[in-house]
Structure 1
Amino acid sequence: MSSSPEHENKVRRRIMVPRISHESSSGIASEKDSKTAPYDLKSSHSTNMPEEIPLSDFRNGNENLHLEGAANSLLLDEDLTSDIKAPLLPLQEDDHSREDEIEIDVKTISESDESALSICLQVFIPFIIAGFGTVGAGMVLDIVQHWNVFQQVPEVFILVPALLGLKGNLEMTLASRLSTQSNLGNMETKKEQLKMIGGNIALTQAQAIVVGFLASLVAMIMGWIPEGKFNPYHALLLCASSMLTASIASFILGSVMAALILLSKKCHINPDNVATPIAASLGDLTTLSLLSTISHLLYHSIESQIWLGPFIITLFILLTPLWIWVSSKNKYTCEVLYTGWTPVISAMVISSIGGLILDFTVSNYHGIAVFQPVINGVGGNLVAVQASRLSTGLHKISTPGHLPSHLHSGCPNPIKSFCGSHVDSKSSRVMLFLVIPGHLIFMYTISFMMAGHTTITFIFASIYLTTALLQVALLLYIANWMVIHMWKNGNDPDNFAIPYLTAIGDLTGTAFLAVAFHILYLIGDRDADVGNLTTATMSADVYSPRTLTI
């Protein structure tokens, strides 16, 4: 059969469409939102042509479409003309001037289908479990504050917030990183899981040893400045206790966090809502128990066995290069190894300032010891959940350094932060809502266990709950600003935000609690346990029953 020249020309043509790159940095625009423009095959020069995919061969006038998997959309028959409307290539990284033209259908940076009730149900149980962990830590601190090592080496009190803060600096950061990777689908195979978990545990070991050593130095300096005396035995005790506690606690908690995130994935639970509170609950109790036990044992043996302290310190110093080498060879941790030190060390210094406040306060207000881990732990737990959720949401729609157009890095409006309609405001309200009932449960538990040295009166409960509410509200507001600001500057909030936030929580919690106890003392709500106590009175009253008088 003869055919016209026009038809023969059409038969010889191979309809081509541009290959669509899958390396888009945003990955948030749907197909219906992709910009389209006419593409003229005749007028386009070959050197300007994008990489092409043959879609059809025309033989004997028949159109046999071979749609390849690399094509991003299907073309209708009427679209197979010389002018093909195909999606333009994505913006290049250096073409920031056109980023604002991308229309983002996502109104929030978290799951849009999550309601306040679903967030509350997922967060509540881990939050309560974490709270009981902090209550346990408070009860431990309430007891060990009378041990000889805490009485004779008061610098150990300075170590308490710094080492308890490691859960935020290391374990909660580890949990946030693994939660993000799990939500992004990067932990599907056992090989990837082992590489990711192994590299992260090696990294946290290196960071724990270094931070433990630096925390002991800060404690020595802060203890030396007021008294002007330096005791080498105390220095060895602080350094060895801090490094040994940090390393053991980091290994235990890191392993538990990895197992918990894998379990959450199998149970179809968002690990962002579960992992960080559990890390906090186990972190406080485990770390404080290890610190008090190790320092107690070393205190009674370090003077008779002088070699013990230097041996422990030297051993961990020699192990540090090994952990650094392992984490540097892991693709999941090599970047954090070089960029993650500043927030961890800065957070340790901030927490140590809180420890200095605790050291000065606990000598006058012994009742503060049992509540200090509770208020710090609850605030750190809630703000870590919020920061982890914000970070995961940002990872799903963008990359660090590229802020979505619907977000602003300036100071957020407090009303919108807590009263807005988007899911991040909902989660902020949920976190704030959990403060008062949570602390009421924890206060009742402390009283029921006959722990602490403070009778829980109505005035005490009112001032304490107000203090806790102000602390959490401040932390949530800071988190909403800090996460977005760090993302804009190209920093991953999983590695940078949580250490700062938990450290600020330790500082504000201890400071606010000290002010609350001082106010209680000034207004006269100072039973024999709130106000100044002598050692004899304290010893006779350590385990006296307490009643809830609300």
Structure 2
Amino acid sequence: MEESENHHQVFLLKGQTIVSSAKRNDSIELSSIGNDNDNNSDSGISPNDSEVDILIPDQGHTQTPKTGLSTMFDHNEEKWYIVASQVFIPFMIAGFGMVAAGLVLERVKELSVFKEITEIYILVPALLGLKGNLEMTLASRLSTQANIGNMDKRSELQRMIIGNVILTQLQAIVVGFLAALVSLAMGWVPQGHFNIRHALVLCSSSVSTASIASLALGSIMILVVVVSHKCKINPDNIATPIAASLGDLTTLGILAGIGGFLFKTIDNYAWLSIMITVVFLVLTPIWIVLSSRNEYVKDVLIHGWSPVVAAMLISSAGGLILDFAVQTLRGVAVFQPVMNGVGGNLVAVQASRLSTALHQQGKPGEFQDINQYHASKFCPNPYKVFCANKRSSSTTRVLLFLAIPGHLTFVFVISRLATDQTRLSILFVILYVIAALIQVAILLYIAQWMVKFVWRHERDPDNVCIPYLTAIGDLLGTALLTCVFLLLP
């Protein structure tokens, strides 16, 4: 809610709807009314607003049950050990997927395309970050839909799936193309010359990798959310880790395969790279028209670009650090997907859960507690985020401390499988775990503030927060990992 505007803010307290008129000086005047049917905020969740309204009973009224599985997944009732048990296995599976991605990155850096086109290292974090920009956002969006009961109707489910698949294809193509341009610009400026062959290979590889990986991972995400919903498991706890487990490995494998093939054929078949790029760009207006006709993704189509584009730019800044680290520090590549992925994985779970809890109260901009509205204006107290005797804080602690056994396990596996083991000393492990805890703690703290901040400004956190958080995680993770290797003797 902008301070320069005069509009109404709705709070739900003890069975009554209280309207707050927020003015330029932030003074609040409260008036009690019986019912509020005039709500001008739109979450973009469902065409049927009644499906997401929370009916809070009064003494003289009959309680109306929440839709679908929302009562089972009420975040005020879900115990910390339930969260830990549901998150742990997908989290470990995701971690092993990231370990595999790190091993793949360590191997593919020996390919000709990675040696000749060094700008590809700037592109890698941006493409790997697409799982946070697109697939994790998709998983969070669908998890919210499941928890508020919108997946119970087959016809609604079909429109929801088709719309989200088309939208992610559109976003993948646009972001993939922009990421290639940014990588070329960042590589071109310091080198002082432009290579058209490298540009063609980078652009065609980027858009095709983003599109194919997004289609594969998006389909898996939809399947995971639907099946977990049917099995009465909270998809908020498992969908985003599974997206992380497959995202890095799949994207790196596709990029290495397509990039290597196009690099070998660029001298004799330059038209192939041009044709691939043109075909994907021609498809974008078609996807725009189809997305605009789907009520479940129309709002994301209009308002969902700034998070994914900003996240791509942040990840590309991390790519500059990775480009330096890979060429100057031995062994850093194998740990990069693990360091970045674990932090992004854990904070995505937290952001998805916080967003679902807010959606169960109403629409973006609505707060069940007036104190919660005021608290969303300020950065939260770090002590309350991590140490308070609240279930939200206990969940934050669970996610933070999961990073310790997770990273220790992943480092041990890497030490057994990686060809370069010279850096795996006790000092390295200690510094590595400290860096990982710093990264995860910062991300969890930012998530606690960002979700409420976005909600207060009447935006859907499912579409906004995860791209920013995973991109910040990539930047922090790459920078902290580089510092760890620089501190080693």
Q: TM-score range by the shorter chain?
A: 0.7 to 0.9
TM-score for both structures, normalised by structure 2: 0.86
- Match among 208, 229, 244 for residue 208 of structure 2: 244
Identity %: 55
State which of 467, 471, 475 in structure 2 corresponds to 1:499: 467
The letter of the residue matching 2:280 is F
- Residue 133 of structure 1 is matched in structure 2 by 97
2:163 aligned with 1:199:
yes
Matched ranges for 1:521-536 at <5 A: 524=489
Report the equivalent of 1:6. Answer: none
Residues 103 and 418 in structure 2, CA contact (< 8 A), matched pair in contact too:
no
Check if 1:310 corresponds to 2:278.
no
> Aligned partners of 1:305 and 1:35: how far apart in 2?
66
The equivalent position to 1:330 in structure 2, one of 286, 290, 294, is 294
Alignment correspondent of 1:53: none
Counterpart for residue 254 of structure 1:
218
**Corresponding residue of 1:89:** 35
Task: Sort the Cα spacing of 1:103 and 1:135 in 2 relative to 1 into closer, same or farther, 3 A.
Answer: same
Cα distance, 1:326–1:454 mapped onto 2, change above 3 Å: farther
2:312 corresponds to 1:348: yes
- 2:255 corresponds, among 291, 303, 311, to 291
How far residue 110 of structure 1 moved from its aligned partner, in angstroms, is 5.7
The answer to whether the 8 A contact 1:138-1:371 is kept is: yes
Equivalent residue, structure 2, for 1:377: 341
The DSSP-based 3-state class of the residue aligned with 1:397 is coil
Deviation by residue 1:105-155 (Cα, 9 ceiling, x = unmatched) = 9xxx96111111111001000100100111010000010111111111000
Contact 2:11 2:366 in 1 (8 A): no
User: Structure 1 residues 230 and 34, CA, compared in 2 at 3 Å: closer, same or farther?
Assistant: closer
Given that 1:158 and 1:356 are in contact with CA atoms closer than 8 Å, whether structure 2 keeps it comes out as yes
Aligned residues: 436
Unaligned runs of 5+ in 2: 1-8, 19-32, 41-55, 60-72
Larger Rg: 1 or 2? Answer: 1
Tell me the CA shift for residue 306 of structure 1. 1.3
With normalisation by structure 1, the TM-score equals: 0.77
1:26/1:265 CA distance change after superposition, 3 Å? farther
Q: Is it true that 1:490 corresponds to 2:458 in the alignment?
A: yes
Matches within 5 A, 1:144-543: 144-403=108-367, 404-407=369-372, 408-409=375-376, 410-520=378-488, 524=489
Kindly provide the amino acid, as one letter, of the partner of residue 500 in structure 1. Y
Indicate if the aligned counterparts of 1:27 and 1:397 stay in contact, CA closer than 8 A. no
Alpha-carbon offset, residue 322 of structure 1: 1.2
1:160 maps to amino acid: V
Describe the superposition over 1:54-103 as per-residue Cα deviations: whole angstroms up to 9, x where unpaired: xxxxxxxxxxxxxxxxxxxxxxxxxxxxxxxxx83348559xxxxxxx99
What amino acid sits opposite 2:80 in the alignment? A
Q: Which residue of 1 aligns with 2:53?
A: none
Q: Alpha carbons of 1:329 and 1:451: their partners in 2 closer, same or farther (altered >3 Å)?
A: farther
Higher relative contact order (Cα pairs below 8 Å, separated by 6+ residues): 2
**In structure 2, C-alpha distance between the alignment counterparts of 1:381 and 1:435, rounded to whole Å:** 10
CA distance in 2, matches of 1:349, 1:88: 47
Contact 1:370 1:452 in 2 (8 A): no
Q: Name structure 1 gaps, 5 residues minimum.
A: 1-24, 37-86, 95-101, 525-550
Q: CA deviation at 1:426?
A: 1.2
d(CA) in 2 for partners of 1:240, 1:412? 44
Deviation at 1:439, TM superposition (A): 0.3
Partner letter of residue 370 of structure 2? Answer: S
Distance 1:174 1:191 in 2: 19
8 Å CA contact 1:110, 1:394 repeated in 2: no
Amino acid at match of 1:297: F
2:75 corresponds in structure 1 to: 111
Distance 2:111 2:262 in 1: 13
SS for the counterpart of 2:262 is helix
Using a 3 Å threshold, how does the CA distance of structure 1 residues 125 and 258 change in structure 2: closer, same or farther?
same
Displacement after TM superposition at 1:325 (Å) = 1.2
- Structure 1 residue 406: Cα displacement: 3.0
Equivalent pair of 2:127/2:210 in contact (CA under 8 Å)? yes
Structure 1 Cα separation of the partners of residues 297 and 39 of structure 2:
24
- Rounded Cα–Cα distance in structure 2 between residues aligned with 1:284 and 1:445: 17
Look up the SS of the partner of 1:406 in the other structure: helix
Given that residues 135 and 446 in structure 1 are in contact (C-alpha distance below 8 angstroms), is that contact kept between their aligned partners in structure 2? Answer: yes
Alpha-carbon distance in structure 2 between the residues aligned to 1:29 and 1:190: 34
Query: What is the aligned-residue RMSD (CA, Å)?
Result: 2.2
| Cα shift readout 1:305-332 (whole Å, capped 9, x = no counterpart) | 0111110011001111111111111000
Q: Do the aligned residues in 2 keep the contact of 1:139 with 1:451 (CA within 8 Å)? A: no
SS of corresponding position for 1:370: coil
